[in-house]
A and B are shown apart, each in its own frame.
Chain A
Amino acid sequence: MTWAVPAIGLVLVTSLIIGVYGVRAARSTSDFLVASRRISPNWNALAIAGEYLSAASVLGLAGLLLKNGLGTMWYAVGFTAGYVAVVALVAGPMRRSGAFTVPDFAEYRLGAPRLRKLCGFVVLVIMLLYLVPQFKGAGVVLSLVSGTPYWVGVLLAGLVVSGSIAAGGMRSATYVQAFHYLIKLAFLAIPAIYLVVHAGADTRTEALHPEWETHFPQTTPVEFSVATDFTLNEPVTVLTPQGEELELPAGSHSVARGTEYVFPAGAPIPHPEDLPVLGSQRWSTPLLDVGGYPLFETWSTLLAITLGCMGLPHVIMRFHTSPTARTARRVAVGVIALLGLFYLFPTVYGLLGRVLTPHLVMLQGTDTVAVVLPAHAVPGSVGTLLTAMVAAGAFGAFLSTSSGLLLALAGGLSHDLFQGSVPRLRLAVVIGACVSVLLALPAQMIDINVLVVWAFTVAASTFCPLLVLGIWWRRLTLPGAATGLIVGGVTATGAVGWSILLPTPSGWVTVLLAQPAAWTVPLAFLTMMVVSRFTRPPEWAEHAVLRLHSP
């Protein structure tokens, strides 16, 4: 882990330099012309992909794949398919409206500055739900590489990101984020390829045959950082820290937090209750199956992610950077290619993780698999180097996404919610970072992807219908949009909040609360349409819509 801290430091310093000084500092008049020329669509696509690939993609996917099985990769497909929906439904028209944020669009389309506050509030909810897992990811990585407790990592992450924004590190956001995409791709792909090649034929075959039993590949000391319930299929003899042998009989076990056992090589992996057994049929079927209704869960999640993508405030903002609607669409297509390329690699970590580091599941620390795996798989300095790369890549993911999110959140806070003026933006950044850090502290045990999908769900139930109907349906009215936003926002946040905070009854209700998109999205669409039918759109509404579609 020793090289990880300098690697992270290097990523941070490089980002700051790029962010503050930009790439183009022109010194003569002819360079003036260069500076004024529009940015190439490729840079823009790189930047969008860089901002979009968050800790959920770099850390979360591999971790959840290890824990819940192959179905997890539907998240990645959803993240990519979201951009197909963006290309088809919003990219071009959004650029033509000239709007920078969703509230701007609401003002353009419905002529209602009053809707801003409501939109600003929704932005706040979505961005916070999205920021918390980023801070969680950064906290996990930082605490892992520096050996500090989790809360120190989260706090450090908060300081780093708000400090870098305050220092002007996002002035040239496009270049910073493009740089971060390259960092993420390289630092996840290179170790992944190396690991696959280095793992050897046996490990590769075992990774692809999950039906074979999962066992500890070598003698492994395990420290339970949280109280855990797990099941053993056969008795196992473990060593306690005092060096005594302890026989754990087959059946259920509860261990207290802080317990340490050393498992011998070849022992079967105990698996926590309520999780699919690693390598079981349920694990290897490529469907999301947490609550027992695989097809419903998969579809609801796909709906949330695919439609939520277009409702994410920081995704929408990026289209303002394209000079025309045509380039905006093309840029989005480029993003799809870049995302598809990136998502080839997390699977490697998840599959190899099942063979090489399966105990992470028992420790409820699967989000760290991408960082932990290289050192386990490759001993010595190469392993350390690979770990440093992945850690730096993960930190890059955190930095670019959370900077983008924090700026969007701060913009919403200062511009829409409090209608403030200029100097408060920095204050809003600090407030946003503080709140996210505070919320991330108790979130150590929640999977990054679960939180991110909730952010997508709220976006899909609020801004998605607003944008889709606003762009494609002339009869949308202000009361319709407002009611729909409230209904969608309240139901989605309510369901999500319930499943985080309150105990849920089992069966269908749990699934409906944990994966609410399947009913909240149609509900929001329906509310907007029904209420709009009963109210009259302003007479210039048609012009406003037609203008979005004329070249």
Chain B
Amino acid sequence: MSPRREKLTSPQTRIALARGNRPVQHLQPVPGPVDTEAARALFRAQRRTAVRTVVVLSVLLFGLSGSFALFPELGEIRLAQVPVSWLLLTVAVYPLLFGLALWHVRSTERLEGEAESVDRGRSTARGPSRRRVDRRRRSKGDSSTGGEAT
């Protein structure tokens, strides 16, 4: 960088930077889904999948540690000299965790794929997805008075 160059900004930026703190920004609206009912159904399905995965994960972790407490024999049985409980904890658990995560991803991707294909079918029936754009551009204030015609 050349030392002779001068640093410049617009006056608004200069003042804002010199002031050093940001004013609270005005919130922009969150766009709503095209089809609320379908989005709700998808949400519920996703939540079921998430709960299922979390339950399996808890059973795996708490169950494994619980079985170590309940069955100390697991430390006596050896597989190629190594106690089984050690093998379970330091090796076997990782593929299980990986498999569980993979299962979850497969399930949610299938759910999303189904939802997408339904959505696509709907929007081609209704014409191009013009509506989506209109909704997104509506500013939040519009709901409070009649506002502009969209």
- Which A residues contact B (CB, under 8 angstroms)? 70, 73-74, 76-78, 80-81, 83-85, 87-89, 92, 108, 111, 113-114, 204-205, 208, 281, 284-287, 294-295, 298-299, 302, 306, 326, 329-330, 332-333, 336-337, 339-341, 343-344, 347, 418-422, 472, 540, 542-547, 549-551
Contact = CB atoms under 8 A, between A and B. Distances in A.
Contacts of A205: 81
A287 B68 contact: yes
9 contacts: A84-B57, A87-B105, A88-B50, A208-B81, A284-B75, A285-B85, A286-B86, A550-B115, A551-B116
Interface string B75-109: 10010011101101111011101101110110011
A172 to B, nearest CB: 20
Chain B interface helix/strand/loop/mixed: helix
B20 A551 contact: no
A111 B27 contact: yes
B21 A73 contact: no
Contacts of A421: 16-17, 20-22
A326 B57 contact: no
A205 B82 CA distance: 9
Q: How large is the interface on B (under 10, 10 to 19, 20 to 34, 35 or more residues)?
A: 35 or more
A306 B61 contact: yes
Nearest to B25: A113
Nearest to B81: A208
A15 B62 CA distance: 40
Contacts of A343: 90, 94
Given A113-B25, A336-B98, A543-B30, A81 B39 contact: no
A73 B93 CA distance: 11
B42 to A, nearest CB: 6
A341 B95 CA distance: 9
A287 B105 contact: no
Given A113-B25, A208-B83, A326-B109, A295 B69 contact: yes
A88 B20 contact: no
B135 to A, nearest CB: 10
B65 A298 contact: yes
Given A84-B101, A85-B57, A87-B101, 4 more contacts: A80-B94, A88-B53, A208-B83, A302-B61
A205 B65 CA distance: 25
Given A81-B57, A302-B61, A549 B43 contact: yes
Contacts of B50: 88-89, 472
Contacts of B46: 549
Contacts of B108: 92, 329
A14 to B, nearest CB: 26
A329 B105 contact: yes
B131 interface: no
Contacts of A70: 85-86, 89-90
B122 interface: no
B24 interface: yes
A154 B79 CA distance: 43
Contacts of B17: 421-422
B89 A73 contact: yes
Nearest to B95: A340
